[in-house]
Amino acid sequence: MKTYLGVDVGSVSTKLALIDEKNNALESLYFRTEGDPINAIQKGLRRLKEKISKDIKIIGVGTTGSARYLAGVVVGADLVKNEISAHAKGVNFFVPEVRTVIEIGGQDSKIIILENRVVVDFAMNLICAAGTGSFLDAQAFRLGIPVEKFSQIALKSKQPTIVGSRCTVFAESDMIHKQQIGHSREDIVAGLCHGLARNFLANVAKGKKISSPIVFLGGVSENLGMRKAFENTLGEKVIVPKYNTVMGALGAALLAKENIQGKTKFRGWEVSDQDIKCTSFQCKGCPNLCEVIEAHIDGKVVSRWNDRCGKYSSLNPQ
Amino acid sequence: MEKKTIGIPRALFYWKEPFFWPAFFENLGFKILLSPESNREIIEKGVKMADSESCFSIKVLYGHILWLEGKVDFIFIPRLKKNESKLEYCPKFFALPDLFSLIVKTPILSPWIDLGKNSLENTLVKFGKKIGKEKKSVKEAVKSAFLKEKEEKLKIKENYFKKIKSPKRKIIIASHPYNLYDEYVNLRAKKKINDLGGEAIFIDEVPISQPLEDLKNISPKFHWEFGQEMLAQIKNAIKIGISGAIEISAFQCGCDAVLKEFVEKEFKQAKIPFLYLLIDEHTAEAGLQTRLEAFFDTLH
Amino acid sequence: MKITFADWGNYTIAFGSLFQKLGFEFIFPEKTNPRVIEEGAKLSPELFCFPLKVNIGNYLPAIKRGADTIVMWENIGGSCRMRYYWVIQEKVLREAGFKVKVLNFNSQNLLSKIREIQKSNQISSWQLLGAVRFFFKEINFIEKLEEKAQYFRPREKERGQADQVLNETLKKLTQTTNLKELSELKKESWQKFSEIKIDGNKEVLKVGIIGEIYTVVDGGVNFDLDKKLGTMGLNVHRKLNLTQHLKGGFPPWNEWLLQRKVNSYLKTTVGGHGRQAIEEMLDYSKKGFDGVIHLLPFGCMPEITVRPILQKISQEKELPFLSISLDEQTAEVGMQTRLEAFVDLMKSKQQLTANS
């Protein structure tokens, strides 16, 4: 069977998805990047291969996510797409009537506005982690609650307390205080979810025309407490569709399928067993002093990037 | 004929002349609806609507104006440009009527106030014409509103002289009036200080006896209406013997980023303990209390 | 006295030659790069605007190389914080232990300061005039070069050629000392540009860059926005540049004309180039551009004030709009993602209009 692979490598999680020629999602994977994107990609490919039957052949690859270029080099991508367009593509296919997409991942969060299945506006958090999954992770750690349990705890709350949510540092002192004056754990957890929702709407989604149907994606959308917080704050129904955590990877696969010309650049399953390394050096050619990054596969330089002038990246095979 | 109602937001420019504007419009025969004291709902509305990088003070104003929307015949948002000494207001004040006309349907009343070019009386006479008020009645309204403003300011002054005789530890709070007098915004900093056994004095209560003389030696020459005055007031306050000083800035206040450098320097030179507080919608009472308590422990 | 100046994109070359021709020993500031930004931000007041922090970072290596005087323009007519740059920068550097002086020029002291310089550096009025003339010629040339590169980048058949010509020419420009050499360099570079093979039939989207002048002009702070967009296949336009800025007040009715154009949106100046941003956006909309990108330092007072107006114009005119705030915490990756998505958005909008 001929299939297309989508790989979405984010700072916190890595997602892989496989579609067939009729755009059916065959298989998907979601796991932590653990600070090592190359290893994560190799691990992902290994696991994917174990899950699928032998007759499956990959004839197109798309990568996305903040490590999309690196992923593209490692896997051998036919198409490298930013995660906003990739998510829009995926959600457009699986939830065609969608108007608003809220996507909250580990360190990024974004909002995408669509009209007639076309992206007309979008925004993304720039510097602050307060509107992202990392915020919940950090607070969960401090409360001693595994973040997976947030859902069930938050849903028990009847009166979410107000927790300052500008940044993880401020929230901490506020939260400790709330604990000390006797707010229940449920109310604090639900309060954190509401704080994150408010922060997202006030900063990332500022000025955007939010209209139904609203779709909620990303790792954080697994958390029912967050979904409820968005529904309460927006006063609208929020849909968490199937494939909510792997929509970017599916979008990348769909885009690869649409755009592929000729033979795929996919390096093959053996990528997961090769020795892949990235090293960097400082170019002293000009005062920019760029940190150029080099990718090596089995000791051979396969790509260089991160130079402003193109002295090294122009040598890459096109 | 039923009286028309003018809504005045209890935020930002309102606190610069809290007595003048309501008195002026009442004298002209309008009903006044002042938005309530800041509360969580108002602030949240403002934070939602204002540009996320604008200062907290502007966000608060957005909340108050949105509260007034639909409740009044007009909303009063003056265009404040320069004061009598040709010193500028914060440039974010310049465009307020334009920005709010994008989001509210209620007609906005916005006299163009550049007192370097036109006296307040002339400005308001011209403005009065637009809202169908005669020159004579406008002049009278201005006059009695001025009297009202003066009367209230006198009370503040008397209160100040009472305060400086107090045996308690006197703490100066330096900030803009819209931070000082809005208790929700400053998280009741004054009450917290007084509860800790201090005597809180707002910087704008400190008189400048001879403005020209007092302002002459201030450097740098600020082009803002509040810069030099505040530094002169700080110099005078230091003379009365204060135990500590606190500066409150609204998050993302661009002017304060400049001013802070010099305010801090004044107090540090005089070896007066100094605490800088940054406030916005996320500031938590608990954190403020902790910092104030710690600050009091450093005072001698 | 060894002087240095803030680095400001390619203009630094022209400022360097101006100060040298005025008889100063000029120490070139460090070009803006991530380390410069990091070091500058460390010393500067956290809440101050981003360009001031970058300036400090540019000065530090120059000070280590011997600079003892910093030249700064004090914008006494304007309403933005730039007029306090010189005081704050002097304070920050002194407090950090550097014995430097900031020489502040403003519209009131300009003539007397120039006379002082003429006296101390023994520069005749003739030499002064020559230096200023050369400066303006260089500025003009730099702007034209950047425009050429903006045109060729999306159209060149072999990627990187336009940038190669641009970089080579700029390098030669630093060695150019008189008008004759300058006009030869001009001829040479126009010739080289004309030799670049282009795809004439290629449909190229047009994007206008508006916002705060320092971030709009300097590739070091905006992560080479011109080049990024150019290699994604877009023709970049920037109306705002140093020449435009200096022309702003001459002739005096320019100011009145500008106000008339933006009057239905904003009735007053708000400092900086707030009004210009509105005027440029309206102009780009009229000229049928495919999108507008708004650049500003994080929290920039004039640009933040007009941003809601720009967003309104974007809605009214259905002109795609992307606003990017820059500061020491901005990550290039995030910017890249946003730009790519914005380009996709413009492309799909254009296809939609083409189909209907």
Quick: pLDDT tens for C230-256.
Answer: 999 999 999 999 998 888 777 888 888
Torsion of CA B228, B234, B235, B239, to 10 degrees: 160
> Is some CB atom of chain C closer than 8 A to the CB atom of B52?
no
Q: Give how far B42 is from chain A: nearest CA, Å.
A: 14
Of B95, B102, B220, the CB nearest to C268: B95
Whether A125 contacts chain B with CB within 8 A: no
In this complex, do C45 and B98 lie within 8 Å of one another by their Cβ atoms? no
User: Closest approach of chain C CAs to the CA of A163, in angstroms?
Assistant: 24
The set of chains that have 3 or more CB pairs under 8 A with C is A, B
- Whether the CB of A165 is below 8 Å from some CB of chain B: the reply is yes
How many domains does one find in chain A?
Answer: 3
Instruction: Quote the minimal CA–CA distance from C200 to chain B in Å.
Output: 42
| Nearest residue to A104 via CA among A254, A238, A253 | A238
Query: Is B92 in contact with C305 (Cβ distance < 8 A)?
Result: yes
Interchain contact A179–B (C-beta under 8 A): no
Query: CB–CB of C305 and B260 under 8 A?
Result: no
CATH architecture for the domain at C2-121: 3-Layer(aba) Sandwich (3.40)
pLDDT, position A133: 81
Give the domain ranges of chain C: 2-121, 139-152+155-199, 204-356
Tell me which residue in A83, A124, A287 faces C31 most closely, judged by beta carbons.
Answer: A287
Other residues' Cβ atoms within 10 Å of the Cβ of residue A2: 12
Q: Are C299 and B254 inside 8 Å of each other by CB?
A: yes
Best to test chain A binding among C33, C36, C322, C345 (most A CBs inside 10 Å):
C345
In the predicted model, is pLDDT for residue B90 greater than 80? yes
User: CB B280 to CB A198 under 8 A?
Assistant: no
B118-127, Cβ contacts within 8 angstroms, sequence gap of 24 or more: B124/B24
The answer to whether C308 contacts B256, with C-beta atoms less than 8 Å apart, is: no
Instruction: Give the list of residues 6+ apart from residue A281 with CB closer than 8 angstroms, or none.
Output: A291, A292, A294
Q: Which pLDDT belongs to residue B202? A: 95
B104, B258, B279: best to mutate for the C interface, most C CBs within 10 A: B258
Same domain, A121 and A235: yes
Picking from A177, A198, A203, the nearest residue to B52 by CB comes out as A203
Alpha carbons C235 and C213: distance in angstroms, whole number: 19
C→B contacts (Cβ < 8 Å), by residue, are 45, 47-49, 76, 79-81, 83-84, 87-88, 91, 265-271, 274, 298-299, 301-302, 304-309, 312, 325
Which chain B residue lies closest to A208 (C-alpha atoms)? B49
- Residues in chain C predicted with pLDDT less than 70, given as ranges, are none
Cα–Cα distances in Å, from A295 out to A80, A285, A301, A316, B100?
A: 17, 20, 6, 11, 53
Q: A282-296 burial, b if ≥16 CB within 10 A, otherwise e?
A: ebeeeebbbebbbbe
Predicted-complex ipTM score? 0.94
A215 shares its domain with A299:
no
Q: Among partner residues C45, C48, C80, which is closest to B91 by beta-carbon distance?
A: C80
3-state secondary structure of C276: helix
Which residues from chain C sit within 8 angstroms of residue A287, using beta carbons? 30-31, 33
Q: Specify the higher pLDDT residue, A116 or C123.
A: C123
User: How far is residue B246's CA from residue B264's CA, in Å, rounded to a whole number?
Assistant: 9
pLDDT value of position B177: 96
25-84 in chain B: CB under 8 A from chain A: 40, 44, 47-48, 51-52
In A, which residues are within 8 Å of B294 by CB distance? none
What's the CA gap between B171 and B155, in Å, rounded?
A: 20
Average pLDDT rounded to a whole number, residues A231-237: 93
Q: Are residues A145 and A82 in the same domain?
A: no
On whether both A223 and A291 belong to a single domain, the answer is no
Which residue is it, tokens 């990718």? A295
Give the one of B47, B48, B286 whose C-beta lies nearest to A177's C-beta: B286
Does residue A263 sit in the same domain as residue A288?
A: no
DSSP A291: E
Stretch among A152-161, A209-218, C133-142 having the lowest mean pLDDT: A152-161
Looking at residue A126, its pLDDT comes to: 60
Query: Which pLDDT score is estimated for A117?
Result: 86
Rounded distance between C-alpha atoms, residue B134 and residue C211, angstroms: 44
* pLDDT at position A101 over 60: yes
The model's confidence at residue A169, banded by pLDDT at 50, 70 and 90, is low
CA–CA distances in Å: residue C166 to residues A204, C149, C169: 37, 7, 5
Residues of A at the C interface (Cβ-Cβ below 8 Å)? 66, 81-85, 108, 118-122, 124, 126-127, 207, 286-289, 308-310, 314
Q: Which chain B residue has its CA at the smallest distance from A203's CA? A: B52
The arithmetic mean of pLDDT across residues A154-180, rounded, is 73
Task: Quote the domain boundaries for residue A288.
Answer: 276-315
- Which domains does chain B carry? 5-148 (3.40.50), 166-298 (3.40.50.11900)
- Cβ of residue B284 closer than 8 Å to a chain A Cβ: yes
Q: Domain containing A183 — which CATH number?
A: 3.30.420.40
Structure tokens belonging to residue B239: 């003379």
Q: Which CATH number fits domain C204-356: 3.90.1150.60, 3.40.50.300, 3.30.70.260, 3.40.50.11900?
A: 3.40.50.11900
Taking a C-beta distance cutoff of 8 angstroms, is the pair B226, B80 a contact? no
Q: How far is B53 from chain A (nearest CA, A)?
A: 9
Which residues of chain C lie closer than 8 angstroms to B260, CB-CB?
Answer: 45, 47
Interface contact B102, partner C, CB < 8 A = yes
Tell me the pLDDT tens digit for each residue of B43-88.
989 988 999 899 999 999 999 999 999 999 999 999 999 998 889 9
Closest approach of B147 to chain C, Cα-based (Å): 31
Determine the distance in angstroms separating the CA of C211 from the nearest CA of chain A, rounded to an integer: 18
Q: Mind listing the pLDDT tens digit for each residue in C120-148?
A: 999 999 999 999 999 999 999 999 999 99
A169 at interface of B, judged by CB pairs closer than 8 A? no
Q: Between helices B40-49 and B56-68, what is the axis angle to 10°? A: 110
| Chain CA centroid to CA B134, Å | 30
Give percent of chain A above pLDDT 90. Answer: 44
Task: Provide the pLDDT for residue A165.
Answer: 57
Distance in angstroms (rounded) separating the CA atoms of residues B193 and B201: 10
Residue B155 vs residue A290, higher pLDDT: B155
Asked if A118 lies within 8 A of C331 by C-beta distance, the reply is no
Average pLDDT of chain A, as a whole number:
87
Verify that A75 and A14 share a domain, yes or no. yes
Q: Tell me: do A113 and A233 sit in the same domain.
A: yes
